[in-house]
Structure 1
Amino acid sequence: MSKTSPGHFFEDYQVGQVIRHAIPRTIAEGERALYHALYPARHALYSSDEFAVDCGLDGSPMDDLLAFHVVFGKTVPDISLNAIANLGYAEGRWLRPVWPGDTLRAESEVIGLRENSNGKSGIVWVRTRGLNQMGDAVLEYVRWAMVRKRDPAAPAPETVVPDLAKVVAAQDLVVPEGLDFSRYDFDLAGEPHRWGDYEIGETIDHVDGVTVEEAEHMLATRLWQNTAKVHFDATIREDGKRLIYGGHVISMARALSFNGLANAQVMVALNAGAHANPCHAGDTIRAWSEVLDKAPTDAPGIGAIRLRLVAHKGAAGELPLRDQAGAYAPEVLLDLDYWALIPL
């Protein structure tokens, strides 16, 4: 009997199946430094204990996307080890901060299946929860991936496509307990712009670009224990190139958004997302954001802002999105819709 596993293939999944993912991960303080070494992340709440204490917290929590990547990485051996691509996200919410010393694990439920017309692969939808050492959920999200079939002749499962919300309702956003922006220090945060300074429909070019290297991508996938074959093995794809991990693009774009959105401190919901085109080593990532919506919260001094974050590899100053046929322009890497908390 083989001691090794080739991972799950499309025909191995059933709607309603619950998977408890292996290898819980204890988050050390040093991972903050690694995260900030990988990305130009500068949001003050995640950089300074003193700033976080002045905002009502006990200290600086781990970056929201760091927690997301750790939980996501737990799911890869069971969900996307044999994926062709990770396609999208919906109904994501951060439910409580992750602190240095927390141990995270993940559980996923299969909520949808649809075989592709070529009979060689299919789409798998899962709802994933990240849990800490006390069993409390720290985040939840839905994602879907295109997964290879082991045997193209295997019968297709019944098609079930989940009905997913297009946006997390503002009243369902979770503000971290104790968070208070009524004494917010805009000088230390880096920009003066507050909730009322942003207009729905406004577009912000984040100006800077970062060229992605193989070394940093490989460090990121190993750090988050993301073992998807397309990120490690250059022989898996016909073009002979390793795909840059999609989470790497998300974090790079979010970090670049500091220029213009330095006070959009806390990510609280992931409404939708698509990895529009592959990213490879040598690509230069740039980003822009569009303000989609705004909402008040019950927390002192805190508003919510809904943002569309687009990462692209176009020229500086260009804001490509779709071509004349309505498809994503080839320069577009990421189209992400999220809610963040910002001082009023």
Structure 2
Amino acid sequence: MDLIAALRTFLRVAEVGSFSAVAEERGVTQPAVSRQVSALEEHFGTRLVQRSTHAVTLTEEGRELVPAAQQLVDSADALQETTGRRRSKAVGRVRLSVPVPLGLYFSSRLDALLKKHEELSIDLILHDRLRDLIEEGIDLQLCVGEINDSALISRRVGATTAFLVAAPNYLKGRAVPEQPADLQEHDCIVYHRWGRDDVWWFASPEGAVSVSVRGRFRANNSEAVRRAALNGHGIALLSHLLVADDISAGRLRALMPAFPPARFPLTVVYPSRRNLPPRVRAVIEFLSEIIRADPAMREDADARAASHTEVYGQD
């Protein structure tokens, strides 16, 4: 028995006092209405109505049931309305996990998303390592690098752009590195997050080039690495989102323009494609739009060259 449907029928019968009138309203037979009320009586173990040839009247137990039945039906209607609204609108909270540089970037641009979806809220989690989506209740995560977890749904939305940088006071009196191998003669600040973070990759006309670096300072937070670089502790490899303003202001100098740092994919991951809520879809689309709006995070090579031409001042 569908309890809510049966209660709706009972309440309407109680209101109009007739099985046949309710049957006519609903386009069903009178016995069908009577069977629903009888099923309720069997469910509750008591008679709810008195039947006669002229009318249907409520018993004492039937009258006592009316307020509770109405409350239950109203609650079911409210739940249905809320669920339906959630199926069609971006409603509720999204727990979004992103790397620190991108988190700082997005947090200054979230206003457009929240204005567009007034019933949406964002719980932004900044990370320097991948998080466990299921264990931590994360709806969506933006990752740097390839994703090999078959349990997750992934969608590539862009690519990173990074710069090799150092403060002028670090470079003073030192030979400026011109190729990756030269970095072995320098103090390098390692941004520790993936495992082999002391191996840096660069692009060259001959293909990808790697070099093992070393230094006296390492950190698992990109902003800590940036501050160490600004203070002249060594050479760092950091996202353009963190250092572009420092380069423009002369606080940091971009190095080795002939060997730009390798790019890595930016990938959105989430636990399941099935019944993906509109709130999560809205955030995925927002992330994609924000990334596409920055030429340095597009996947095409021309955007990459343009961003480096602007910083290095080369053709």
Provide TM-score, normalisation by structure 1: 0.21
> Comparing both structures, which one devotes a greater share of its residues to strand?
1
Provide TM-score, normalisation by structure 2: 0.22
> Comparing both structures, which one devotes a greater share of its residues to helix?
2
